[in-house]
Amino acid sequence: MLELGSFDDARRKVLADARKSLTGLNRLMAEPTESIDDTVELLTGIRRQVQEHLNHIQHQQMIVCAAEWLVRHSVAGVPLRWLWNPRQSGERGAPDLVGLEGEAVRVCAEVSAVDEPIGVVDTQMRRGLTRLAAMEGRRFYFVRSVSMKRRAVTKVVKGGWDIAVVQIALQPEPQVLPRVSALSLAGASLAGNR
């Protein structure tokens, strides 16, 4: 697992990986094709690269958003040092995100950037939740969609696991300020002049 660092640093890493993927895609798209066979082969390569890179990039961004959510909601009650597996290829059995207090694991999280729990995704979800249930600390499973959340909650309940399932977006939540109309401001100003 790697040190997550600041959220800005992690986002810069995700952006750099996304740009690298786009550069590779642009290079592929620039290749000339002479026949339908060449064109189909090129499109197949483009599809493979886009799918693989998009999955990794969405996964990385989801981990960053999950870490921000955990910090924003003070799940540990103390500051934690965050480690992550940004490329889904970390040590076998390691979660996507870990929050440490000293050397003690306080938070473990898995993320899924997939929209629908169909086929292989459903099987991967079960395996991931089973693995997460055996880990130390407070456990979280982050998803993007309502259908993924529903399916994960069903698996958690059936498994009897102490895992919080949280639905988040791939973008950090904006800080929402209360809406104040010009009329209410004018009314407050008039009330102050009385």
Single out the residue of 171, 118, 112 nearest to residue 140, CA to CA. 112
- Percent over 90 (pLDDT), the chain: 44
pLDDT of residue 88: 67
pLDDT in tens, 39-82: 898 888 888 888 888 888 989 999 999 999 999 998 878 889 99
Single out the residue of 90, 112, 111, 109 nearest to residue 100, CA to CA. 109
Provide the pLDDT confidence category of residue 137 given band limits of 50, 70 and 90: very high
pLDDT of residue 172: 56
Quick check: pTM over 0.85?
no
pLDDT in tens, 79-104: 899 999 887 644 467 899 999 999 99
Token pair 């493979």 is found at: 48
156 vs 189, more confident: 156
Residues in Cβ contact with 146 at an 8 Å cutoff, skipping those fewer than 6 apart:
167
16 vs 184, more confident: 16
pLDDT of residue 75: 85
Q: What's the whole-number mean pLDDT along residues 103-132?
A: 90
- Per-domain residue ranges for the chain? 2-167
Average pLDDT in the chain: 83
